[in-house]
């Protein structure tokens, strides 16, 4: 990361801090994310192998049949964003949503059937469509549907909401890593306005919003995704450094061997 060193006069600093939004630590939103952070514990700052992180997701692939319902038209997509939703369904778990999508029970969207890429509950992730196919989960023919991977978080009774959020954060970090999606392209459904609606920006995922819009709690959640992603990047960097070190060692050894060959040759001929 690039470090910028700019001298700011000391008198200006308190004034800036006083005017910064979201600095009120007494707000209920800050309390909520602080409590959640405490319950989950800080994201480790050690490197994590992307393969290991992928295994931890407990991902089950249960796709809607190609050519049917939400996949009745093949629409290729190069994912550039990740959109986070919550189901607001208090009875259906991830498996129930997978079944509903596979039998075309959820109607709507541009092609008549809703579909999205992943549904997450506290102990598992289910994939419904490949990440290189477009879904119908955000904003009809808008960029949310055309360019983003849609993730729904479960809210059924008995489901652990914190564990669901954390599994979602890890899934999003994994998808960022594999599709090279930057952290600023993590979006709440809220960010994709729905044309023709009286409230175009949906309060979704509602438990991460403040007064129906992204605030401190949303920023906290994106921060956790970012830290999980940094663990995967750190692993790649560690592997790269190790390879460089091994290469350097091989080079040094070959110089020594080459030198020794020359010495023994010189002894033989002299």
Residue number with CB closer to Zn ion (85 or 228): 85
Residue number with CB closer to Zn ion (85 or 128): 85
Which region among 39-47, 96-104, 141-149, 203-211 touches Zn ion (by CB under 5 A)?
203-211
In the region spanning residues 74 to 133, those forming contacts with Zn ion, defined by CB under 5 A, are: 85
* Dist CA 98 CA 116 (whole Å): 10
Confirm or reject binding of residue 191 to Zn ion (CB under 5 A).
no
Which region among 53-61, 153-161, 186-194, 216-224 touches Zn ion (by CB under 5 A)?
186-194
Q: Which of 149, 176, 188, 204 binds Zn ion (CB under 5 A)?
A: 204
In angstroms, what CA-CA distances link 239 with 94, 119, 232? 36, 32, 11
Mention every residue, 6+ apart, whose C-beta is less than 8 A from residue 17: 23
Q: Which of 170, 189, 224, 231 binds Zn ion (CB under 5 A)?
A: 189
Confirm or reject binding of residue 151 to Zn ion (CB under 5 A).
no
CA-nearest of 68, 156, 161, 163 to 123 is 163
Helix or strand or coil: residue 219?
helix
Residue number with CB closer to Zn ion (137 or 231): 137
Beginning with the edge strand found earlier in the chain, give each strand of the sheet holding 124-127 in spatial order: 59-61, 124-127, 118-121, 148-153, 81-86, 186-188
DSSP code, position 61: E
CB of 17 to Zn ion, least distance (A): 35
Q: Which residues bind Zn ion (CB under 5 A)?
A: 85, 189, 204
């Amino acid at each position: 990361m690039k470090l910028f060193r700019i001298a700011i006069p000391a008198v200006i600093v308190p004034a800036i801090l006083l005017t910064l939004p979201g600095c009120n630590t007494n707000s209920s939103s800050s309390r909520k994310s602080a409590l959640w952070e405490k319950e989950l514990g800080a994201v480790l700052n050690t490197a994590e192998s992307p393969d290991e992180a992928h295994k931890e997701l407990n991902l089950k692939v249960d796709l809607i049949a190609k050519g049917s319902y939400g996949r009745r038209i093949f629409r290729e997509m190069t994912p550039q964003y990740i959109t986070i939703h919550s189901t607001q369904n208090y009875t259906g778990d991830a498996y129930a949503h997978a079944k509903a999508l596979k039998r075309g029970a959820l109607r709507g969207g541009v092609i008549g059937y809703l579909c999205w890429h992943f549904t997450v509950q506290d102990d598992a992730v289910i994939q419904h469509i490949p990440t290189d196919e477009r879904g119908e989960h955000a904003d009809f023919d808008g960029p949310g549907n055309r360019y983003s991977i849609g993730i729904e978080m479960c809210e059924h009774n008995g489901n652990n909401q914190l564990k669901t959020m954390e599994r979602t954060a890890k899934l999003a970090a994994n998808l960022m890593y594999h599709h090279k999606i930057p952290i600023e392209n993590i979006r709440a459904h809220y960010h994709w306005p729905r044309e023709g609606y009286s409230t175009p920006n949906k309060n979704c995922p509602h438990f991460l919003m403040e007064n129906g819009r992204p605030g401190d709690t949303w920023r906290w959640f994106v921060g956790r995704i970012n830290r999980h992603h940094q663990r995967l990047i750190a692993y790649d960097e560690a592997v790269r450094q190790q390879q460089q070190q091994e290469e350097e060692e091989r080079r040094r050894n070959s110089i020594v061997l080459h030198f020794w060959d020359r010495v023994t040759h010189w002894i033989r001929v002299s």
